[in-house]
Structure 1
Amino acid sequence: MKKIHLLVLKAFTRPFIVTFFIVMFVLLMLFLFKYIDDLIGKGFPWYVILQLMWYASATNVAMALPLAMLLSSIMTFGSLGENYELVAIKSAGISLQKAMAPLVVAVSVLSICAFLFADYMLPVANLKFGSLLWDVRNQKSAFLINEGVFNNSISGYSIRVEKKDPDERTLHNIIIYDHSSGGNVVLRAKTGTMDKTPDESYLILNLRDGVRYQEDSGEGSYNPRQRFTRYRFKETTQKFDLSAFKPKRTDENLFKSSYAMMNLKQLKYYQDSTTKVADSTVKTYPQLLLPLYRIYSSQLLVDKKAVKDAPGYKNNLLERIPEIDRSAALSFAQTEIQTIKETLNAKATEKTDYKKSILRFIVEYQKKFTLAVSCLILFSIGAPLGAIIRKGGLGLPVVTSVIFFLIYHIISQIGEKSAKAGTMDPILGMWISIIVLAPLGIFLTYKAAVDSAIFDSELYKQKFLKLFKRKKA
């Protein structure tokens, strides 16, 4: 019995590790294709790119782990069935459930690890990844001067160089438009050299044989005339600030309020706090509207029965207001109604925002658990499915696992988006994919235990031929 359990565990471990890293690699390549324009040409050191890829890999575990679990379980039991090892196990009097027992324990341990990862490590990885990606996407491209084009990377300056020598330092026919001081300044030089300070905070251009043109307003605000200055120089130096091109790190504490960057304890705390604030805000609505409800005439402060019995009264309040004041009363009433309407609309928007925040907290809270349970559900689908189809390798198992994973992923995404939009209960929305696929796992496990041939094409072919012969007879 122990040898059979070791055989099944060894058969499962290798495909699981291989498929997990293959899926992680594919997801990482998709990430690079998506953000390649934000990474290239910005002067980042190599370790920053590696850090970003490392954090991106950690955030992809939530998708890679269930898919690897499904694919490896199909491959394992498909290979055992194809090599008739499952037949040998059953002939020894060991049922499929007993053969799967050590894998069920191993997958349960992996599910618990996935839950702990989602609660403790994934929020930290999301925080590091989110803050670093923000800095990368907002970082300016590295300062480069290309031949024959104007470079506008430095704020307030436009630089054009006709030719650059192979040493990348010597420049020819340089034009600089300077708008940083508010006036119009143009510098032209025949040659020049380009250097940076040791800390690369400034760019130094040493210009030679040139002319400086400057056009600015005359003295005094009344004089509309402008002053034009021109002087030639043999050599001058122009200094440019490059601090905007140096990579900067944003404080990570600014991103900690995001939903995906909290653990269970923090999500529960902020959910309760937001709910209390939302409830207390709703209670203040009558206090805000009460000052807008007024009685404008002391003539209305009479006995209601006396008002109804008054001559000419037909349940119309305007009849109790003097005719000369009715227009002003109606105008004032419309103004008050518009104020009440705007107040209620603002409070309704505020309440909707609170509701969306609470839904997001619930969604992220439930997501910690669904990752662990999805591993068990997909294993319960993949293991019996592999025993039924009896095909190992990377052919049919890959196609089958991708189909079932797409079904799981599409249902879960629809449920999550519906939960965030408030069109579905958030708990139901996060667990709907598990609820839908759990009966399928039970059904496939039962069919595999009784040696069903539901995926045998020859069986369906024979049944179709028998049915066709009956109709023909």
Structure 2
Amino acid sequence: MKKIHLLLIKAFIKPFLATFFVVMFILLMFFLFKWIDDLIGKGFEWYTILELMAYASAANVSMALPLSVLLSSIMTFGTLGENYELVAIKSAGISLQKAMRPLFVVIIMLTIGSFLFSNYMLPKANLKFSSLLYDVRNKKLAFLIKPGVFNNSIPNYSIRVDAKDEDGTLHNIMIYDHKGTNGVPKVIMAKQGQMNKTADGKFLLLNLKDGVQYEEQPSSSGAYNPRQVFNRSRFKETEPRFDLSSFEMNRTDPNAFGNSTPMLNLKGITKKGDSLGKLLDTLNMSTDRVVANNFKQFNVTKGYSKVKMAPKQIGEATLNSIPGGSKKLALDNASNTVSGIMQNLANTGPRHDDLVGEIIFTRIEYQRKFTLAASCILLFFIGAPLGAIIRKGGMGLPVVIAISFFLVYHIITTVAEKSAREGNLNPIFAMWIAVIVLSPLAVFLTYKATVDSALFDVNYYKQVFNKLLRIKQKQA
């Protein structure tokens, strides 16, 4: 390997790693902003949130990797052009295509790695992420008592305090106990209390001092009884226990989400697509058979009779060709037949649409495994010549241009995917349309960079504009 190749690889690796982690951090912040309400105030351990963020980061690689390749390639060749190192490379007899070869090898390695990642690691990460996010979103709020507000987080209890000190001491406590009271709550009032947990953390201990307990026995007959028993008891100190098992986060088995298409590799997607195709064929055959039976129910002797008769030709006035005494019966039979067909289609139609949508989604996800790898190559051949043309490094203009091109690529892919899922576009074509549209642009930019075109040189366009003005002035 030549020294120039090592120079180019080193110049590419540093901005690639930097931009990749920056983009991953930004996308991770978007994730936290989206799900912040489901994470705050639930008492999660730090490693649970860290685990969720790790799985979310794996899901963001599909966006971070292509953008990092585009941005780092623009920055690498832009820096080389700005420092006139690219001019020195060309003066040494090395063309732009030859200078891009070592980086192209690196991009091929990234492409293979991205394909293996999307086919083997990403499905498992999506599986873990979906199951953990489901558990996080369904976990109840942590027990947090706010002064002046009734808290109903603990089942069968309502707790209210007037004030709460920094050390956790509660003042003027009121507790409504609805557990096993047949609709008549038991009321506990105390002047002061302290909250503690048991050693295993499964129970909340509320140490109450100087209080009174009111309990009214419910009527056995359900009617009002003026002589109903009412108990009142005072206490100096008591310590009721509250079960906190409802606040524990139960981890769902990830295999419960395993049949979802994004959690499958190519082999699993192919198998699921075949299963869905068989289900759709079975549903179509069943629907055809039911509909056909509605028309053949009066032709049971067809094929068994040896009597040959010429078929009777019925014109436009079908109803007039029916004998007068049978018209009402014929209309009733036709109405019942149509009603049966409509009812059958109403029952099978939604299921048919769901199966078709799932089949389309499996084809989209199958192609997505390859488009992630192809996007790295495409955006490299856009970014490298673009950086050589603009001859500007750093995080200024290259970032703006890179984000602009990536947004074009992402918007085309998103719109085409949505159209495919609605059945308006072929799934294979939809997932590759961005590559098809932007490939000519990559070829054009590579050609312009090879011939040292001043495509983004403002002074060049000023000179052209001034020449046009002079020509018009001479003609005038």
TM-score by length of 1: 0.91
Matched, 1:316 2:319: yes
Counterpart amino acid of residue 394 in structure 2: G
Please state how far the C-alpha of 1:318 moved relative to its aligned partner.
Answer: 8.7
User: Is the contact between residue 412 and residue 434 of structure 2 (CA under 8 Å) also seen in structure 1?
Assistant: yes
Query: 2-side partners of 1:138 and 1:308: how far apart?
Result: 68
Query: 2-side partners of 1:45 and 1:3: how far apart?
Result: 50
CA distance 1:224–1:405, change in 2 (3 Å): same
- Using the TM superposition, name which of 275-284 and 200-209 deviates more: 200-209
CA distance 1:316–1:452, change in 2 (3 Å): same
Please state how far the C-alpha of 1:17 moved relative to its aligned partner.
Answer: 0.9
Equivalence for 1:102:
102
Query: 1-side partners of 2:242 and 2:340: how far apart?
Result: 54
Equivalence for 1:243:
245
SS in 2 for 1:454: coil
Written as runs of structure 1 = structure 2, the 5 A alignment for 1:259-338 is: 259-293=261-295, 294-295=297-298, 315-316=318-319, 319-320=322-323, 322=325, 330-331=331-332, 333-338=334-339
- Using the TM superposition, name which of 4-13 and 385-394 deviates more: 4-13
Equivalence for 2:368:
367
TM-score by length of 2: 0.90
User: Is the contact between residue 161 and residue 172 of structure 1 (CA under 8 Å) also seen in structure 2?
Assistant: yes
Equivalence for 2:31:
31
Written as runs of structure 1 = structure 2, the 5 A alignment for 1:395-434 is: 395-434=396-435
Deviation track 1:321-379 (CA, whole Å, cap 9, x = no partner) reads 737xx667645653442222010122222211111111111100000000000000000
SS in 1 for 2:467: helix
Equivalence for 1:177:
176
Deviation track 1:44-78 (CA, whole Å, cap 9, x = no partner) reads 11111111111111111110000000000000001
User: Is the contact between residue 377 and residue 438 of structure 1 (CA under 8 Å) also seen in structure 2?
Assistant: yes
> Tell me, which stretches of 5 or more residues in structure 2 are unaligned?
none
Deviation track 1:252-310 (CA, whole Å, cap 9, x = no partner) reads 111111111100000011101111121122112233235544449x9xx9x9979979x
Query: 1-side partners of 2:77 and 2:322: how far apart?
Result: 88
Equivalence for 1:459:
460
Query: 2-side partners of 1:316 and 1:327: how far apart?
Result: 10
Query: 1-side partners of 2:309 and 2:320: how far apart?
Result: 14
CA distance 1:444–1:178, change in 2 (3 Å): same
Equivalence for 2:10:
10
Percent of aligned positions with the same letter in both sequences? 53
Query: 2-side partners of 1:438 and 1:307: how far apart?
Result: 62
Please state how far the C-alpha of 1:455 moved relative to its aligned partner.
Answer: 0.7
CA RMSD in angstroms, aligned pairs only: 2.6
SS in 2 for 1:42: coil
Q: Which runs of 4+ in 1 moved over 6 A?
A: 303-309
CA distance 1:354–1:146, change in 2 (3 Å): same
Query: 1-side partners of 2:367 and 2:311: how far apart?
Result: 61
Please state how far the C-alpha of 1:441 moved relative to its aligned partner.
Answer: 0.3
CA distance 1:445–1:166, change in 2 (3 Å): closer
Equivalence for 1:450:
451
User: Is the contact between residue 69 and residue 379 of structure 1 (CA under 8 Å) also seen in structure 2?
Assistant: yes
User: Is the contact between residue 27 and residue 60 of structure 2 (CA under 8 Å) also seen in structure 1?
Assistant: yes
> Tell me, which stretches of 5 or more residues in structure 1 are unaligned?
none
Deviation track 1:117-175 (CA, whole Å, cap 9, x = no partner) reads 0001010111111111111111111101222211111223211012234431x433221
Deviation track 1:192-237 (CA, whole Å, cap 9, x = no partner) reads 3333222222223344421313363x2246x565846332232554
Please state how far the C-alpha of 1:432 moved relative to its aligned partner.
Answer: 0.6
User: Is the contact between residue 308 and residue 315 of structure 1 (CA under 8 Å) also seen in structure 2?
Assistant: no
SS in 1 for 2:185: strand
Query: 2-side partners of 1:407 and 1:341: how far apart?
Result: 45
- Using the TM superposition, name which of 149-158 and 62-71 deviates more: 149-158
